[in-house]
Amino acid sequence: MTAADNDRSPAMATARDLPGRQDGADTAPPAQEPASAAAAGRLSGLRGVDPLDVGIVIVVLAVIVTGMLTTRFFSLANARAILASTASVGITAIGATVVMIAGSAVSLAVSQTATVVAMIFLATQQFGLAAAIIAGLLSGVAMTAIQGAVIGFWTANPIVLTIAAGFAIGGVATWISGGTTVYPQVTAFNGLNDTPLGLPLAVYVLLAITGVAQWLLRRTTAGRYMYLIGENPRAARAAGLPVGRVTVIAWAIFGACIALTGVFLAAFNTSANASLGGTLSLDAIAAVLAGGTAIGGGKGSAVRTLGGALLISAISDLLLLRGFSTGIQLLVKGLLVAFVVIAVHVRSTRGRR
Amino acid sequence: MIRRPAAPPETLVPGVALVVVLITFFCTPLMSGRALTAFDVYNTFQGLAQLGLLTLGLGLTMIAGEFDLSVAGTYVLGGMLAVRTGQSSAILGIVLAVGAGAAIGAVQGGIIARLRIPSLPVTLATYVALLGLTSAMSGGLSVTYTNTGATLWMDRHIAGIFSPPSLITLTGFVIAAAVFGGTRLGREIRAIGGDRRASRVAGVRVERGLVGLFTASGALPALGGALFSYSYAAANPNPGLQPLILATVGCLVGGVSLVGGRGLPAGLLAGALSVALLGQVDAITAIPDYYTELLYAALLGVIVAVDAPGLRRGLDRLKARAATIRTPDRRP
Amino acid sequence: MSDMAGDRARPQVCVEVLSRSFGGVAAVREVSFTVGAGEIHGLCGHNGAGKSTVVKMLSGQLAPDSGRIVIGGQPVVLGSRQAAQRLGVALVDQELSVVPELTVLDNLLLGGVSTPLLNRRRAAAARCRQVLGDMGLDRIRPQQPLAELSIGERQLVEVARALSQNARLVILDEPTATLSDVETEYVFAAIRRVAARGCSVIFVSHRLSEVLELCDTVTVLRDGRRIATTPASELTVSDLIVQMLGEAPHRLTAARAPDPQPGHSLRIEGLRVPGRLTDFSLTAQAGRVYALAGQLGSGASDVLRALAGLHPQATGRVRLRDRAVPFRNPVGAAAAGVAFVSSDRKSEGLFLDKPIAANFLATRLPGLGRAGLLSSRREHQAARSLAELVGIADHRLREPTAALSGGNQQRVFVGRSLGRDDVYALLLDEPTRGVDIGGRAAIHRLLRAAADAGLIVVFASTELEELLELGDVIITMRETRMVARYEGGADGAVLMRDMTQGERAA
Mind giving me the DSSP string for C317-354?
EEEETTEE--TTSHHHHHHTTEEEE-S-HHHHT--TTS
State the CATH number of the domain containing residue C334: 3.40.50.300
Contact C110 B204 (CB under 8 A): yes
For A177, which residue in chain B has the nearest alpha carbon? B290
Nearest C-alpha neighbor of B272 from the set B211, B224, B230: B224
pLDDT digits (tens, 9 = 90+) for B140-155: 888 898 888 888 888 8
**What is the pLDDT, as a whole number, of residue B181?**
86
Question: Do the Cβ atoms of B259 and A331 come within 8 Å?
Answer: no
> Does B230 reside within a domain?
yes
Residue C145 with chain B: CB contacts under 8 Å: 4, 8
- CA of A1 to nearest chain C CA: how many angstroms apart? 9
The answer to whether the beta carbons of residues B70 and B283 sit under 8 Å apart is no
Q: In which domain, by residue range, is C189 found?
A: 11-245
- Judged by CB atoms closer than 8 Å, whether chains meet at A238 and C51 is answered as no
* Long-range contacts, stretch B242-248, CB < 8 angstroms, 24+ apart: B243/B51, B243/B54, B243/B72, B243/B75, B244/B69, B244/B71, B244/B72, B244/B127, B245/A108, B245/A163, B245/A166, B246/B51, B246/B55, B246/B275, B247/B51, B247/B54, B247/B55, B247/B58, B247/B71, B247/B72, B247/B272, B248/A159, B248/A163, B248/B58
Question: Which of C296, C335, C434 faces A25 most closely, judged by CB atoms?
Answer: C296
Residue C8 has phi, psi (to 5 degrees) of: -115, 15
One domain, residues C342 and C462: yes
Nearest CB partner across the interface for B203, out of C85, C149, C150: C85
| CB atoms near residue A311 (< 10 Å) | 22
Residue B299 backbone dihedrals phi, psi, to 5 degrees: -55, -50
Contact across the interface for B3 and C148, Cβ inside 8 Å: yes
Domain shared by C55 and C165, yes or no: yes
Are the CB atoms for C204 and C169 separated by under 8 Å?
no
Question: Which structural domain range is residue A218 located in?
Answer: 89-350
User: Is residue A224 a part of any domain in this protein?
Assistant: yes
Within this chain, do residues C96 and C193 fall inside the same structural domain, yes or no?
yes
What pLDDT, on the 0 to 100 scale, is given for residue C262?
A: 59
Residue A19 included in any domain: no
d(CA C403, CA A37): 9
> Does A118 map to a domain?
yes
Under an 8 A CB cutoff, do C148 and B4 touch? yes
Q: Which residues contact C307 (CB under 8 A, 6 or more apart)?
A: C268, C271, C318, C325, C327, C333, C338, C340, C425, C427
Largest CA distance in chain A: 73
- In degrees, rounded to 5, the angle at the alpha carbon of residue C165 between the alpha carbons of residues C161 and C167 is 130
Report the gap between the CA of A232 and the closest CA in chain B (Å). 16
C-alpha–C-alpha distance, residues C215 and C40, integer Å: 5
**For residue A95, is it within any domain?**
yes
Residues of C in contact with A27 (CB under 8 A): 47-48, 52, 430, 433-434
Helix (H) / strand (E) element for C170: namely: strand C169-173
pTM: 0.85
Whether A50 is covered by a domain: the verdict is: no
Does C285 reside within a domain?
yes
Residue of B44, B298, C169 lying closest to A167 (CA atoms): B298
**A299 in C contact zone (CB under 8 Å):** yes
Chain B residues in contact with C95 (beta carbon < 8 A): 197
Look at residue C132 in the predicted model and tell me its pLDDT: 86
Q: How many domains does chain A have?
A: 1
A residues 257-296 near B, CB within 8 Å?
279, 281-282, 285-286, 289, 295-296
To the nearest whole angstrom, how far is the Cα of C270 from the nearest Cα of chain B? 9
Q: Are residues C228 and C290 in the same domain?
A: no
Kindly state whether residue A78 falls inside one of the protein's structural domains: no
Overall domain count for chain C: 2
Domain assignment present for C506: no
Instruction: Tell me whether A221 touches chain C (CB under 8 Å).
Output: yes
Nearest to B130 by CA among B75, B185, B198: B75
**Helix, strand or coil for residue C251?**
strand
Residues of chain A with pLDDT under 50: 1-47, 353
> Per-residue pLDDT for B14 more than 80?
yes
Q: Does C328 touch chain B (CB under 8 A)?
A: yes
Instruction: For residues C503 and B196, give the distance between their C-alpha atoms in angstroms, rounded to a whole number.
Output: 35
Q: Do A34 and C429 touch (CB under 8 A)?
A: no
- A293: closest CA among A124, A96, A126? A96
Q: Average pLDDT in the B277-284 region?
A: 88
Gap between the Cα atoms of B202 and B312, Å rounded: 29
**Cα–Cα distance for residue pair B189/B262, rounded to 1 Å:** 10
**Which amino acid, residue A260?**
L
Interface check C75 vs B, CB under 8 A: no
To 5 degrees, how large is the angle CA C388–CA C393–CA C396? 125
Q: What is the pLDDT of residue B52?
A: 95
Max intra-chain CA distance, chain B:
91
Same domain for C272 and C199: no
Neighbours of A84 (CB within 10 A): 16
The last residue of a domain, from among C212, C245, C278: C245
Q: What are phi and psi of A220, to 5 degrees?
A: -115, 160
Q: Which candidate from A27, A38, A244 shows the least CB-CB separation from C433?
A: A27
C117 CA: distance to closest CA in chain B (Å)? 5
- Residues B89-133 have pLDDT tens digits of 889 999 999 999 999 999 999 999 998 888 988 999 999 999 989
- A300, A298, A280: which is closest to A340 by C-alpha? A300
User: From the CB of residue B308, how many other CB atoms can be counted at a distance below 10 Å?
Assistant: 21
Q: Where does a domain end: C188, C216, C245? A: C245
Beta carbons of B87 and B147 less than 8 angstroms apart: yes
User: How many residue pairs bridge chain B and chain C with CB atoms within 8 Å of each other?
Assistant: 110
DSSP B241: S
Interface check C112 vs B, CB under 8 A: yes
Gap between the Cα atoms of A330 and C403, Å rounded:
40
Contacts of residue C386, Cβ cutoff 8 Å, sequence gap at least 6: C360, C415, C416, C418, C419
Taking CB atoms and an 8 Å limit, are C331 and A2 in contact across chains? no
Q: Torsion angle of alpha carbons A209, A210, A215, A221, nearest 10°?
A: 80
CATH number of the domain residue A314 falls in: 1.10.3470
Q: Count Cα atoms within 13 angstroms, Cβ side, for B263.
A: 36
Contact B191, B79 (CB under 8 A): no
- With beta carbons under 8 A apart, name residues in chain A contacting C440: none
Q: Which chains touch B (3 or more CB pairs under 8 A)?
A: A, C
Asked if C45 and A26 count as a contact pair (C-beta separation under 8 A), the reply is yes
Asked, for residue B245, whether it belongs to a domain, the answer is: yes
The answer to whether A2 touches A232, Cβ cutoff 8 Å, is yes
Angle at A351 between CA A350 and CA A353, to 5 degrees: 65
In SS3 terms, A23-74 reads as: CCCCCCCCCCCCCHHHHCCCCCCCCCCCHHHHHHHHHHHHHHHHHHCCCCCC
Q: Which helix (H) or strand (E) holds A271?
A: none
Going by C-alpha positions, the residue among A99, A97, A90, A91 that lies closest to residue A250 is A99
Q: Give the number of C-alpha atoms closer than 13 A to the C-alpha of residue C370, restricted to the C-beta side.
A: 0
Chain C residues with beta carbon closer than 8 angstroms to that of A22 = 301, 343-344
Determine, yes or no, domain membership for B331.
no
**Residue C250 forms part of a structural domain:** no
C-beta atoms of B200 and A7 within 8 A? yes
Q: Number of residue pairs across A and C with CB atoms under 8 Å?
A: 195
Q: Is the per-residue pLDDT at B224 higher than 80?
A: yes
Q: Does A156 touch chain B (CB under 8 A)?
A: yes
Cβ separation C101–B194 shorter than 8 A: yes
Q: Do B203 and C112 touch (CB under 8 A)?
A: yes
Query: Which of the other chains make 3 or more beta carbon contacts under 8 angstroms with chain C?
Result: A, B
Find out whether B201 and C162 touch, Cβ atoms under 8 Å: no
Query: What pLDDT does C184 receive?
Result: 85
Q: Do B299 and B24 meet the contact criterion of CB atoms below 8 Å apart? A: no
Q: Is residue C42 domain-shared with residue C139, that is, in the same domain? A: yes
Assess whether C277 and C240 both reside in one domain: no
Say what the pLDDT of residue A44 is: 40
Range B212-224 average pLDDT:
95
- C-alpha distance from C404 to closest chain A C-alpha (Å): 5
Question: Which of C56, C110, C173 has the most B C-beta neighbours within 10 Å, making it the best mutation to test the interface with B?
Answer: C110
A 10 A CB-CB count for B139 gives 11
Which residues constitute the domain of residue B296? Answer: 9-29+38-305
CATH of the domain at B70: 1.10.3470
Give the C-alpha separation, B57 to B73, whole Å.
Answer: 12
A24 assigned to some structural domain:
no
Tell me: the pLDDT tens digits for B32-87? 788 888 888 999 999 999 999 999 999 999 999 999 999 999 999 999 999 999 88
Q: Are A109 and A165 in contact (CB under 8 A)?
A: yes
Max mean pLDDT among A63-77, B63-77, B196-210, B273-287 falls in B63-77
Inter-residue contact B182 to C119 (CB < 8 Å)? yes
C26 in a domain, yes or no? yes
Flag whether C123 is in a domain: yes
In-domain check, residue C355:
no
What's the average pLDDT block by block, 10 residues per block, for chain C (506 residues)? 48 87 82 92 83 89 89 87 86 87 90 79 86 83 87 87 86 83 85 89 87 93 89 87 67 47 82 91 91 87 94 93 90 94 91 93 90 88 92 88 86 92 93 80 89 91 85 90 85 80 45
Q: Is C132 inside a domain boundary?
A: yes
Partner-chain residue, chosen from A20, A35, A237, that has the shortest CB–CB distance to C96: A20
Distance between CA B278 and CA A200 in Å, rounded? 44
How many inter-chain contacts (A to B, CB under 8 Å) are there? 221
**Could you give the CA distance from residue B221 to residue B111 in angstroms, rounded to a whole number?**
20
Cβ-defined contact of B181 to C317 (cutoff 8 Å): no
Contact B196 A156 (CB under 8 A): no
A224 touching chain C per CB within 8 A? yes
Domain boundary among C213, C245, C277: C245
Separation CA C415–CA C410 (nearest Å):
8
Confidence tier at B329 by pLDDT (50, 70, 90): low
Residues in chain B: 332
User: Are C390 and C432 in contact, with CB atoms under 8 Å apart?
Assistant: no
Q: Residue A29: its chain C contacts at CB < 8 A?
A: 22-23, 25, 27, 48, 406, 434, 436
The SS3 of residue C19 is: strand
HSE-CB of B240 using CA atoms within 13 angstroms: 11
Q: How far apart are CA A298 and CA B207, in angstroms?
A: 27
In whole angstroms, what is the distance from residue A327 CA to residue B130 CA? 9
Q: Bridge partners of C20? A: C28
Is C402 part of a structural domain of the chain?
no
